[in-house]
Amino acid sequence: MEPVALITGAGRGIGAATARELSRRGYRVAVNYHRDAAAAAAVAAETGGTALRADVRDPAQVAGLLAACGPPDVLVCNANITPPFEPLLSMPWEAFIGKVQGELAAAYHLTQAVLPEMPPHGRIVYVSSLSAELTRPGAAAHAAAKAALDAFARHVAAEASPVTVNVVAPAGVRTEGSAAARTPETEAALAERSVLGRMIEPDDVARVIAAVADGGMPAVTGVRIPVDAGYRVLGGP
Ligand SMILES: NC(=O)c1ccc[n+]([C@@H]2O[C@H](COP(=O)([O-])OP(=O)(O)OC[C@H]3O[C@@H](n4cnc5c(N)ncnc54)[C@H](OP(=O)(O)O)[C@@H]3O)[C@@H](O)[C@H]2O)c1
């Protein structure tokens, strides 16, 4: 039987690219989504997978998701809990904690539901962000949430053996999720400040996630892998 990969937030962006990449590698993909059923159905049709609706911040919906897809060999926690981008001093507490709590609720409930049922070769990958280690105007909630996710993932790794647990942390990726924060000028500036001289595409991130998830790195656990086209080498975006 084909191994199963559950990818949260796989209707578009990095999640959809990861579903395509893991499907090419022989996985049956569970394409989780929240609101956009048509987008997820298109990814499922393309990959031969199944589109499954669930708000992954909600433990009851996570339980339903697992009941529908069965215990996965691979879990990719990718769903984009959309962050508020505004100065910290004017950011309402509800907006700040909504992002931090949502990010951690998704990781916590998925991990607790999946890990006990995972086979020994199981793999968990959390999608974090380079933002966790940067200071950018307006990004306090996003950075705090992703930094907390990084710490959470290390502690899961410490308890998950023989399952491996890793973090993939992209810099700015060309997706719908980042569209509001991107202009031709900011894209050009990002490309100029990267060693590779270009933006990061969803496929770039998907290939790293798949490399970690697909058994090619059995002795790598508890690490955080940046996918940043070399921004940090030149001092960060
Ligand atoms: N894009 C970047 O520049 C960038 C950089 C660093 C890190 N990241 C991280 O990469 C991940 C993916 O980002 P992206 O840009 O590819 O996102 P995106 O284009 O905004 O797509 C987000 C996906 O997440 C789903 N989603 C949102 N809330 C959900 C929920 N509560 N439950 C289940 N699914 C939910 C959406 O489903 P529906 O459309 O069905 O609602 C959609 O499929 C995120 O964790 C993000 O923080 C992104």
Please report the pLDDT score of residue 237 as a whole number. Answer: 52
Characterise 60 by phi-psi region: left (phi > 0), alpha (psi -120 to 50), beta (else): alpha
**What is the extent of the structural domain holding 161?**
4-225
- Name the residue of 6, 14, 176, 203 to mutate for ligand 1: max ligand atoms within 8 A of Cβ: 14
Can you tell me the distance from the alpha carbon of 194 to that of 199, in angstroms, rounded to the nearest whole number? 8
Please report the pLDDT score of residue 236 as a whole number. Answer: 57
CATH number, residue 199:
3.40.50.720
> Which pLDDT tens digit goes with each residue over 197-225?
999 999 999 999 999 999 889 999 999 99
Q: In angstroms, what is the span from residue 13 Cα to ligand 1's centroid? A: 7
Please report the pLDDT score of residue 45 as a whole number. Answer: 98
Report the atom number in ligand 1 closest to the C-alpha of 36: 40
Question: Which residue's C-alpha comes closest to atom 12 of ligand 1?
Answer: 80
Examine residue 237 and state whether it is found in any structural domain, yes or no. Answer: no
> How many domains, in total, are found in the chain?
1
Please report the pLDDT score of residue 190 as a whole number. Answer: 83
Q: Is the pLDDT of residue 47 over 60?
A: yes
Query: CA quadruple 69, 19, 54, 63: dihedral positive or negative?
Result: positive
Examine residue 133 and state whether it is found in any structural domain, yes or no. Answer: yes
Examine residue 233 and state whether it is found in any structural domain, yes or no. Answer: no
Q: Is the pLDDT of residue 133 over 90?
A: yes
Can you tell me the distance from the alpha carbon of 47 to that of 41, in angstroms, rounded to the nearest whole number? 10
Question: Which residue's C-alpha comes closest to atom 39 of ligand 1?
Answer: 36
Please report the pLDDT score of residue 189 as a whole number. Answer: 84
Q: What percent of the chain has pLDDT over 90?
A: 86
Question: Which residue's C-alpha comes closest to atom 13 of ligand 1?
Answer: 80
Examine residue 236 and state whether it is found in any structural domain, yes or no. Answer: no
Examine residue 15 and state whether it is found in any structural domain, yes or no. Answer: yes
> Which pLDDT tens digit goes with each residue over 56-99?
999 999 999 999 999 999 999 999 999 999 999 999 999 999 99
Characterise 14 by phi-psi region: left (phi > 0), alpha (psi -120 to 50), beta (else): alpha
